[in-house]
A and B are shown apart, each in its own frame.
Chain A
Amino acid sequence: MPSTMPIARAEPALFGAVAAAASALGLGIRRNLANWPIMMGRALFYLVAMLVLSALWDKVAAQRLPGTLAHLLPAGGLTLYIGVTEWIALSVAAIHLRLEDDIRFGMLEPHLLRPKSYLVQKLAEAMGDSLGRLIGIGAAAVLALVLSGRAAPSPIAFVYVAVLGIFGTAVGVLLMTLVGLSAFWVRRVLPPYLIMQKALFLLGGLFAPISLYPGWFYHAAIVTPFAATLFVAGDQALAPSLAAFGRGLAAQLVWIVLLSGLIALVWRAGLRKVLREGV
């Protein structure tokens, strides 16, 4: 055997896989820091969006227009709700674009020649990227809240929102991963991305809580992964409660498991296609 034969691996395979994923997660955070001008731009966009949306919702809430849902809106609370949902929406890393690049343009090959799962590494990187965004945009959100002079939610609401925000972002990353994996079969991932984005707007409650919808629509929307991404965290800014927090977290964990399984199946089918037909 040559002296350079594969190095002995003392670590168990699972430990090695976790260590590699943790390293990829750290790399995702570092990449976010390296691209700090983009992060600044994202935070600025968040502030501008909040300025516009809060002015709009404050106006709607103040008018209490008859025949509309305005009477259901908690005074001032919607701005906090949108602050949370926008924070999550802007923090979900664009993993679909990276997957599309790799799959469509042959960049997958160097990754497949490595001993660790490409998909797990990419997901860990995207989560690292998302964590960086959550911290950066989260800081901008808190700063904006302080500067606006609005009443802040209770400290426990911040804890609930932070936890559900992180897990909601994880669900969002998994949804975008499914969009990215469609590149195995479609020429561009933009159409599936647009469908996913609109579903997040509508069923996730990006601009208004789904609790404002008619009952049947609310009950349909609340069981989707879109509500687990945005609404369950945003709802804690409106009416924080331990019971709702527990239900929301459970829903997010269920969706993380289900989506992970679905992603594994889709990835396996896509990989099979690539290994048979080439890139």
Chain B
Amino acid sequence: MAAVRVENLRKTYRYARRKPGLSGLFASEVRHIEAVGGISFAIAERERVAIIGPNGAGKSTTLKMLSGILEPSGGAAEVLGFVPWKQRRALAYGIGVVFGQRSQLWTELPARDSFALLRRIYDVDLDTFRRRQASLVERFGLGDLLDQPVQRLSLGQRMRCEIVASLLHGPALLFLDEPTIGLDITAKAAIRDFIREHAGAEGQTVVLTSHDTRDIELVCDRVIVINEGRIVVDQPTDQLRRLFLGHRLVTLRSAAPRLDIDLPGVKRRASEPHLSVFEVDTGVSRVDVVVQAALALGGIEDITIEDPPMEEVVRAIYDANSAR
């Protein structure tokens, strides 16, 4: 059974723009911008899917329509058997949402108070609530933090509280919008592990958007790439990883103006003097091998290892798709 079914979903925004000159005082022209241009896909129960794309691609608009807070201009969608924009409140009992950049907690108060109010908002009976809260708090190591005002928590601690808040009512479907944005590596890893394990154990369906390719690789089974409001690629993560996601950028600052590393799967990118950037295909050469080779050259002052920017990954996917 599909948890999410989308058919030819479209969204066009219209906005009024004043005409130049004096006539602009009295008249404006209406412009239309197509944010989502007729997408179709289905997500099975228990599936974990990433929706990715560059800024302005239409992924947030798609998520908003699927969660019921934006009406589409055309097409159809069904989420957990509900038409989201017509049955928003009924659907709300079945979905949990985490916004990386927006808090759903009452920041002046301890997370415990927010959780208690959320129990009432979602009509969760007290025993179920206590059991779920205890289990999630233990899993996330939040015991000591529950009684501190949320505004005094670090970003990583707050994000763990946000995720607990979104799971207290036992949603069947979890929407995660940039859940690891701004977090350090340890916090990101903890959140990815938790989402994967929890969704697996509870049989939850996950729909995630992120600019971090590691979120996608480590959490999702499938990736839908959206660009300019259209689906460019819809593939299992394994397949996409082999083609596009298994790359890392290793940046070396060195005393020597130029470094060369001769290893299979390592390409030198356009670099500045004393700053060499290498693209590593991790399927061919491991990053630690590349770093060891660099250190053997001597005179290394700094090393940075990063994922390629999402815009670059999407462009590569898009180019490869267009060439077919």
A residues apposed to B, CB below 8 Å? 1-7, 9-11, 16, 19-20, 22-24, 27, 30-31, 34-35, 106-107, 109-116, 121, 274-278
A112 touches B69 (CB 8 A): yes
B94 touches A5 (CB 8 A): yes
B120 touches A20 (CB 8 A): yes
Interface string of B91-125 (1 = CB under 8 A from A): 01111010100111010110001001101111111
B96's nearest neighbour on chain A, judged by CB, is A113
Q: Count chain A CB atoms within 10 A of each CB in B80, B97, B117 and give the residue with the most.
A: B117
Give 7 CB contacts A-B under 8 Å.
Answer: A3-B202, A5-B170, A23-B120, A34-B149, A109-B102, A113-B69, A275-B71
B256 within 8 A of A: no
The smallest C-beta distance from A14 to any residue of chain B, in angstroms, reads 12
- Tell me, in angstroms, the Cα distance from A277 to B170 when the chains sit together: 30
- Tell me the dominant secondary structure on chain B's binding face: loop
The smallest C-beta distance from A156 to any residue of chain B, in angstroms, reads 37
Q: Which of the residues B71, B80, B104, B169 comes within 8 Å of A110, measured between beta carbons?
A: B104
**Which chain B residues lie closer than 8 Å to A11 at the CB level?**
123
A115's nearest neighbour on chain B, judged by CB, is B92
B73's nearest neighbour on chain A, judged by CB, is A276
B171 within 8 A of A: yes
**Which chain B residues lie closer than 8 Å to A35 at the CB level?**
108
- Tell me, in angstroms, the Cα distance from A23 to B67 when the chains sit together: 25
The smallest C-beta distance from B167 to any residue of chain A, in angstroms, reads 9
- Tell me, in angstroms, the Cα distance from A277 to B122 when the chains sit together: 27
The smallest C-beta distance from B9 to any residue of chain A, in angstroms, reads 15
**Which chain A residues lie closer than 8 Å to B123 at the CB level?**
7, 9, 11, 16, 20, 115
- Tell me, in angstroms, the Cα distance from A31 to B150 when the chains sit together: 12
A113 touches B67 (CB 8 A): yes
Q: Which of the residues A5, A31, A107, A278 comes within 8 Å of B102, measured between beta carbons?
A: A107
A7 touches B93 (CB 8 A): yes
**Which chain B residues lie closer than 8 Å to A275 at the CB level?**
69-71, 85
The smallest C-beta distance from A192 to any residue of chain B, in angstroms, reads 22
- Tell me, in angstroms, the Cα distance from A5 to B95 when the chains sit together: 9
Q: Count chain B CB atoms within 10 A of each CB in A3, A9, A109, A274 and give the residue with the most.
A: A109
B169 touches A2 (CB 8 A): no
B124 touches A31 (CB 8 A): no
A30 touches B109 (CB 8 A): yes
Q: Which of the residues B46, B104, B117 comes within 8 Å of A27, measured between beta carbons?
A: B117
- Tell me, in angstroms, the Cα distance from A12 to B12 when the chains sit together: 39
- Tell me, in angstroms, the Cα distance from A257 to B26 when the chains sit together: 39
Q: Which of the residues B45, B95, B128 comes within 8 Å of A2, measured between beta carbons?
A: B45
A115 touches B113 (CB 8 A): no
- Tell me, in angstroms, the Cα distance from A113 to B108 when the chains sit together: 21
- Tell me, in angstroms, the Cα distance from A115 to B109 when the chains sit together: 22
List the 10 closest pairs (A to B, CB-CB), nearest first.
A6-B93, A2-B203, A23-B120, A115-B92, A110-B104, A20-B120, A4-B170, A6-B94, A16-B123, A9-B123
- Tell me, in angstroms, the Cα distance from A5 to B94 when the chains sit together: 6
A277's nearest neighbour on chain B, judged by CB, is B13
A5 touches B172 (CB 8 A): yes
**Which chain A residues lie closer than 8 Å to B88 at the CB level?**
112-113
The smallest C-beta distance from A106 to any residue of chain B, in angstroms, reads 7
- Tell me, in angstroms, the Cα distance from A22 to B149 when the chains sit together: 21
Residues A34 and B109 in contact in the complex (CB < 8 Å), given A110-B97, A115-B92: yes
- Tell me, in angstroms, the Cα distance from A34 to B148 when the chains sit together: 11
- Tell me, in angstroms, the Cα distance from A207 to B64 when the chains sit together: 48
The smallest C-beta distance from A16 to any residue of chain B, in angstroms, reads 5
Q: Count chain A CB atoms within 10 A of each CB in B69, B89, B104 and give the residue with the most.
A: B69
The smallest C-beta distance from A165 to any residue of chain B, in angstroms, reads 25
**Which chain A residues lie closer than 8 Å to B117 at the CB level?**
20, 23-24, 27
Residues A110 and B109 in contact in the complex (CB < 8 Å), given A2-B46, A27-B117, A277-B13: no
**Which chain A residues lie closer than 8 Å to B210 at the CB level?**
none
B108 touches A34 (CB 8 A): yes
The smallest C-beta distance from A217 to any residue of chain B, in angstroms, reads 38
The smallest C-beta distance from A253 to any residue of chain B, in angstroms, reads 27
B92 touches A31 (CB 8 A): no
A4 touches B203 (CB 8 A): yes
A106's nearest neighbour on chain B, judged by CB, is B102
- Tell me, in angstroms, the Cα distance from A278 to B71 when the chains sit together: 8
Q: Which of the residues B71, B103, B119, B171 comes within 8 Å of A276, measured between beta carbons?
A: B71
B209 within 8 A of A: no
- Tell me, in angstroms, the Cα distance from A7 to B121 when the chains sit together: 12
A113 touches B120 (CB 8 A): no
B90 within 8 A of A: yes
Q: Count chain B CB atoms within 10 A of each CB in A4, A9, A22, A109 and give the residue with the most.
A: A4
B180 within 8 A of A: no
B61 within 8 A of A: yes
The smallest C-beta distance from A145 to any residue of chain B, in angstroms, reads 31
The smallest C-beta distance from B89 to any residue of chain A, in angstroms, reads 5
- Tell me, in angstroms, the Cα distance from A3 to B119 when the chains sit together: 18
- Tell me, in angstroms, the Cα distance from A113 to B103 when the chains sit together: 13
**Which chain A residues lie closer than 8 Å to B128 at the CB level?**
7
B229 within 8 A of A: no
